Amino acid sequence: MKLYGDPGSGSTRRVFAALYHIGVEFDFELIDLFKGDNRTPAFLALNPNGMIPVLVDGDVVLWEASAINLHLAEKFGSDLLPPGAERALTLQWMFWAAEHWRQGPPALFGERIAKVVMGVAQDPRVIADAEASIRKFAAILDAHLEDRRYVIGNKVSLADFDLAATFTHLTRTHPPYAEFPNVMAWHQRLLDEVPAWARTRDEVEVRMAALLAPPGGAQ
Ligand SMILES: N[C@@H](CCC(=O)N[C@@H](CS)C(=O)NCC(=O)O)C(=O)O
């Protein structure tokens, strides 16, 4: 089994977290977006979108992190995908994460990281729209987490990884999550209690430090 991606990518991180949590052995190939590795004919043959992550498992080639994680959880019988009604609820939150929750944060990544790296001026209207979207959906997640340790009751699931991925660049993109105490407490719980999540956070930070380091070393 081989994962293609980048430890600094929030989407790749969701798959790393599932692989570590389940305890699967896998090979890894770095696809460096800054070097255009995602635009080579070989990579586009795996994912015509030119996006990471991609998982190759025998004859199965999968893109979309949520689909990859569902494949892994089902293949290895992981409790990251609980049975029965909780399975449907896990899927509900995963779809909600894709359709709503993860809309604002990539825009902040574009404005507050990519544009800064490229030396392009930020667009305050894009930032304001992204923050409004984040606040709207964070209020819903915050209310849901009022009396729950994790998104599906008391145990971590794939829904937590899909939702928590937006914390990947927290210190760089500054989404207004601090206004939502239950969301903040839930994310801290994930870091404290789910070693796979904490491990991927550390790997993100190592990768981003290398990517954002000034050329030729610190000034
Ligand atoms: N919906 C996809 C999103 C994947 C995605 O946005 N990947 C980014 C990195 S985090 C990427 O590969 N971007 C390269 C590009 O857009 O050209 C998933 O959940 O896997």
Q: Where are the domains of the chain?
A: 2-75, 85-212
Instruction: Give 84 Cα–ligand 1 centroid separation in angstroms.
Output: 30
Which residues sit with their C-beta closer than 6 Å to ligand 1? 9-11, 33, 38, 50-53, 64-66
For position 117, what pLDDT does the model report?
85
Residue 134 has pLDDT above 90, yes or no: yes
44 CA → ligand 1 middle, Å = 13
Q: Ligand 1 pocket check: which of 32, 51, 55, 208 to mutate, most ligand atoms within 8 Å of Cβ?
A: 51
Residue with the larger pLDDT of the pair 219 and 99: 99
Q: Give me ligand 1 centre to Cα 86, in Å.
A: 27
More confident residue, 144 or 116: 144
Distance between CA atoms of residues 70 and 50, nearest Å: 21
What Cα–Cα distance (Å) separates residue 102 from each residue in 168, 192, 204?
Answer: 12, 23, 18
Going by pLDDT thresholds of 50, 70 and 90, the confidence category of residue 29 is very high
Confidence of residue 22 (pLDDT cuts 50, 70, 90): very high
Q: Residue whose CA is closest, atom 16 of ligand 1?
A: 51
Atom of ligand 1 lying closest to residue 53 CA: 20
Q: Between 3.40.30.10, 3.90.1170.50, 3.10.640.10, 1.10.10.10, what CATH number should domain 2-75 receive?
A: 3.40.30.10
- Tell me the mean pLDDT in the region 50-74: 98
- Which pLDDT value is given to residue 216? 66
**Is a pLDDT exceeding 50 seen at residue 219?**
no
Q: If you average pLDDT over residues 48-65, what whole number do you get? A: 98
Distance CA 188, CA 10 (A): 17
Residue with tokens 């969701």: 14
How far is ligand 1, taken at its centre, from the CA of residue 11, in Å? 6
What residues pair up with 168 in beta bridges, in sequence order? none
Q: Would the pLDDT of 217 be above 80?
A: no
Best residue among 4, 9, 11, 30 to mutate for probing ligand 1, ranked by most atoms within 8 Å of CB:
11
The correct CATH number of 85-212 out of 3.30.1360.70, 3.90.550.10, 1.20.1050.10, 3.40.47.10 is 1.20.1050.10
Distance between Cα 52 and ligand 1 center (Å)? 5
Q: Give the pLDDT of residue 153.
A: 83
Q: Which residues contact 210 (CB under 8 A, 6 or more apart)?
A: none
